[in-house]
Amino acid sequence: MAQRRSKKKRSGREDFMLKEQSKVEGGMLDEKTIMRLGKFFTHNIISRLMYMVGRGKEADTYIAQSGLDIKKGYVAVKIFRIETSSFGARIDYIDGDPRFGKIKPGMFNLVNEWCKKEFSNLKIANEAKVHCPKPYMFNGNILAMEMIGEDDVPAPQMRKIDLEEPDKVLDIVLGDMRKMYQNNLVHADMSEYNILIKGGTPYIIDFGQAVVLGHPNAEQFLKRDVKNILYYFYRKYGIERSQIQVMEYITKGK
């Protein structure tokens, strides 16, 4: 009797990668986005778009192999969806920001400004030595930045894991919020969803909604950020911090 040839069973992650790669190769991206993405290849930021790792309200995030100009092996590529309707609710984070003038009509122009804004905010945060991705390049509705994780595996969101040293993580997060404030920036969307944990260290992500202190709602956004973070650590780990004292710590000296 002939023996049946054994086949190595693929892991769930391998199946996921193959499925997502087939989406990329199968034309899931529109022609204009593909053209804009080409700039990232010609500028040696990426060499291959691999697979999707996240789908948010306004954008899809892919992992890409890095190009010659990037020392790290993998790059996170955030592609904002032009057709999304949720960007209309985000206009308050752009209106009032002294860095941006009047936006031309049309969803693409709004998305383009949002992408440009996230790139600019990441640059400020990096210069302030905040734990966050390093921005590499943006073009239209596409932003390339440092991939926070190990090899091609993104770091998990803080909400998905149990921290070994939650007090230490909270101190780092609040310290980074202070660094941002001292450098004229408020994140404006701080939560357990927008913090990744790599090697026990928190990394803040999603800076599109961040505003400079000249924005009329900057202080209101900061108070909301502090409230959200303190409530999360109290609810999950029983850590109590005074919101008033934390606000003083973040804003003192400014």
* Phi (first) and psi of residue 99, to 5 degrees: -80, -15
Give the DSSP H or E segment for 144: strand 142-146
Q: Which two tokens stand for residue 97?
A: 């920001």
Rounded distance between C-alpha atoms, residue 197 and residue 203, angstroms: 6
Catalytic residue among 151, 162, 176, 206: 206
- In sequence order, the β-bridge partners of residue 46 are 66
Rounded distance between C-alpha atoms, residue 173 and residue 170, angstroms: 5
Rounded distance between C-alpha atoms, residue 33 and residue 35, angstroms: 5
Q: Are 67 and 45 in contact (CB under 8 A)?
A: yes
Q: Roughly how many angstroms between the first and final C-alpha of the chain, as a whole number?
A: 82
Q: Is 30 a catalytic residue?
A: no
Q: Is 162 a catalytic residue?
A: no
Give the DSSP H or E segment for 186: strand 185-186
Q: Where are the alpha helices (DSSP H) in 142-217?
A: 166-182
Catalytic residue among 92, 152, 162, 189: 189
Residues acting as catalytic residues: 189, 206
